[in-house]
Structure 1
């Protein structure tokens, strides 16, 4: 890092609390740690058809398969998963997350989509180009960068 200050750099100014933005961000307390598993909300767990209907609005007919499971993500928050019958998506599952307010019987759809599930074919982990390229390719690229024809001495 250069010690020269560029004209485009802005000085760090304290916030209203008198702290720099970095110090203020560090002072924000972490969310509380959950001490117990979320309680399964039976109203939401039984709302399979509500979840299926929400998915049917985005999916074509026949793409939403059998109900796979319902998972309690938090209190009054449940995610339903359905088999995905889509070409090229073997092992994937549709999901629909439902919630409700305390003491309410009204079920709300929070989000829905498709995700990799058991046995899904997924892309391999990303590897940076510098780690993927072999030595021959490095030499070829160096030759091109120097204006030489690759393979000539």
Structure 2
């Protein structure tokens, strides 16, 4: 076992020989909570601060490779009576731990929703803004209810609409996706979507950047595509001479009579 002084500990804190020597007490308390077969040798004693030391023991429990038992002890300033603060099982650098929790709404991917599934957006979703607003100040619950009522009364059709941030996120996602200009399909295309007769232009902020493919024979039919995207189903695509199918051979006429066939 060795003594470790962490950087966070005070450099002026004196070495506490009483707490550093309380290895047996730390192990005894640890064995009251876990099986003896799960506890290995003492590996370190860390001086956490004045009158606070943590003793570490190797963890031998199956499935916990790289983990360490931690027992923190302390004592009063004028007393040699050692007391235990906590017993914790901690992961080391090589420990196998569960991945960081990702909320369900952040794990959803396109195609995951089934019929009947609901994915409500948060009230303060930055991708959406009220269709009709009283100003730029944050709205409380009552004000938001009034905004929705005004939008309904005005017949705007939608209580909320895309915010500039929501538009930018969608544009970046579409640009980087399968309908963007950098895909292998687009790079090998004879021409770009902006000159294709099957392109339906979007309206609004994205009109000069994206459209929807309306070619039923194309891979992107019904999908948003960047104007710099392209594919082999472009309306003006032409086959080169070497790509054109060979014309059928001329018909061969059999002129032999049955008599001539017998003499062969």
Which category describes the TM-score, using the shorter chain as reference length?
0.5 to 0.7
Counterpart in the other structure of 1:115: 90
Structure showing greater Rg: 2
Give me the whole-angstrom Cα distance separating, in 2, the residues matched to 1:56 and 1:64.
Answer: 8
Asked if 1 retains the 8 angstrom alpha-carbon contact of 2:9 and 2:48, the reply is no
Secondary structure, counterpart of 1:115 in structure 2: strand
- Secondary structure of residue in 1 paired with 2:25: helix
> Do the aligned residues in 2 keep the contact of 1:39 with 1:72 (CA within 8 Å)?
no
Q: Hey, which bits of structure 1, 4+ residues long, moved more than 4 A?
A: none
Alpha-carbon deviations, 1:102-145, whole Å to 9, x = none?
1211111111121112311101111121221211013x2xx314
- Judge conservation of contact 2:70–2:90 (CA < 8 Å) in 1: yes
Q: Which residue in 2 is equivalent to 1:61?
A: 36
Q: Which residue of 2 aligns with 1:144?
A: 116
Q: Which digits, 9 at most, give the CA deviation of each residue in 1:2-28, with x for residues without a partner?
A: xxxxxxxxxxxxxxxxxxxxxxxxxxx
- For residues 40 and 82 of structure 2, the distance between their equivalents in structure 1, rounded to whole angstroms, comes to 22
1:134 paired with 2:106, answer no
Return the TM-score normalized by structure 1.
Answer: 0.65
Structure 2 length as normaliser, TM-score?
0.39
Structure 2: runs of 5 or more not aligned: 1-7, 119-264
In structure 1, stretches of 5+ residues that fail to align are 1-33, 147-153
Question: Could you say if the C-alpha distance between residues 99 and 35 of structure 1 is closer, same or farther in structure 2, counting changes exceeding 3 Å?
Answer: closer
Question: How many corresponding residue pairs?
Answer: 110
